[in-house]
């Protein structure tokens, strides 16, 4: 029977506390959870079969729920759904091989939590506002000599140039919002990751890793940002285990 790995934990001298916590928890398909320790690092696992593992929302939520519960008590590195190994021995060997990397990653996320921030906009309204504030609507686009000024090709270029300038303006605006977010978070020593312009309406998708006790301060900062940009919708989620801040390639 294979083993499903949920997370790698930094347990130090609290292995008894972990074991008693695991007694009251269940993994995928109601399987019992148990720990496999190597020095200060422990893998939380349950027995499963590759054939019996179905990727559906119930199992995904159960998997995330185990990680979530453990993250409230211990520093951990969440594993990807479907992380299976063939035996206890294989997991212990994997932990031994990767011990320094795992330890280093655990130190980086110790007492830290992940938060997500998405910024949405009404795409048409934002473009219209930016257009109004800029000179794009009125600015001469490209120069025309008298003999070509009525050219259909020239009109096409003018239209495209207007669209291009609007896109540039939009990007500049998004960059200014990212800069404002970064400034608000600078005093919290947060590790930040940003993605811009995911869709027409999702202009920013940000992730922050910061100390557990910074949650209230972060919410206040997002509130201030919302006041600063009333035309945008800021949505903050969390706290999450550090899903997006673990950089390790298991050997």
Partner 1 sequence: MSENKILFNTGSLDGLSEEIGKLTNNDESRLKLTPDNADSGLAKLVLTLVELIRKLVEKQAMRRVDGGSLTDEEIERLGETLMKLELKMEELKKHFNLTDRDLNINLGPLGDLM
Output 128 or 219, the one with its CB closest to partner 1: 219
Q: Does 164 bind partner 1 (CB under 8 A)?
A: yes
Taking the complex as a whole, the smallest distance from the CB of residue 13 to partner 1 amounts, in Å, to 26
Q: Does 179 bind partner 1 (CB under 8 A)?
A: no
Q: Does 60 bind partner 1 (CB under 8 A)?
A: no
Burial per residue of 55-71, b for 16 or more beta-carbon CB atoms within 10 angstroms, e otherwise: eeeebeebbbebbebbb
Q: Does 156 bind partner 1 (CB under 8 A)?
A: yes
Contact string (CB under 8 A) for partner 1, positions 91-130, x = contact: ------------------------x--x-x----------
Q: Does 194 bind partner 1 (CB under 8 A)?
A: no
Structure tokens at 221: 């900062």
On the CB side of 192, CA atoms within 13 Å amount to: 21
Report yes or no: 95 and 41 within 8 Å, Cβ to Cβ: yes
Q: Does 51 bind partner 1 (CB under 8 A)?
A: no
Omega of the bond prior to 239 within 30 degrees of 0, cis? yes
Report yes or no: 87 and 3 within 8 Å, Cβ to Cβ: yes
Q: Does 178 bind partner 1 (CB under 8 A)?
A: no
Beta strands 41-48; 232-240: pairing state = unpaired
Structure tokens at 239: 């706290």
Length of the chain (residues): 251
Taking the complex as a whole, the smallest distance from the CB of residue 54 to partner 1 amounts, in Å, to 20
Q: Which residues bind partner 1 (CB under 8 A)?
A: 61, 64-65, 68-69, 72, 115, 118, 120, 142-145, 148, 151-154, 156-157, 160-161, 164-165, 195, 197-199, 201-202, 205, 215, 219, 222-223, 226, 233-238, 240
């Amino acid at each position: 029977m294979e083993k499903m790995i949920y997370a790698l934990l930094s347990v130090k001298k609290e292995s008894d506390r972990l074991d008693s916590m695991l007694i009251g928890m269940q993994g995928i398909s109601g399987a019992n959870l148990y720990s496999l320790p190597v020095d200060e690092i422990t893998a939380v696992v349950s027995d499963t079969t590759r054939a019996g593992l179905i990727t559906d929302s119930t199992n995904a939520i159960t998997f995330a729920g185990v990680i979530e519960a453990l993250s409230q008590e211990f520093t951990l590195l969440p594993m990807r759904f479907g992380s299976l190994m063939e035996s206890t021995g294989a997991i212990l060997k994997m932990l031994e091989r990767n011990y320094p990397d795992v330890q280093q990653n655990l130190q980086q996320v110790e007492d830290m939590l992940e938060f997500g921030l998405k910024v949405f906009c009404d795409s048409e309204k934002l473009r219209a506002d930016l257009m109004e504030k800029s000179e794009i609507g009125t600015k001469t686009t490209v120069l025309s000599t008298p003999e070509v000024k009525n050219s259909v090709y020239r009109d096409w270029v003018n239209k495209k140039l207007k669209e291009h300038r609007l896109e540039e303006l939009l990007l500049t605006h998004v960059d200014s919002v990212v800069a404002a977010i970064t400034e608000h978070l600078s005093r919290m020593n947060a590790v930040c990751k940003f993605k811009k312009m995911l869709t027409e309406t999702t202009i920013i998708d940000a992730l922050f890793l910061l100390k557990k006790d910074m949650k209230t301060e972060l919410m206040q900062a997002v509130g201030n940002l919302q006041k600063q940009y009333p035309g945008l919708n800021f949505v903050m989620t969390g706290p999450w285990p550090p899903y997006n801040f673990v950089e390790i390639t298991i050997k």
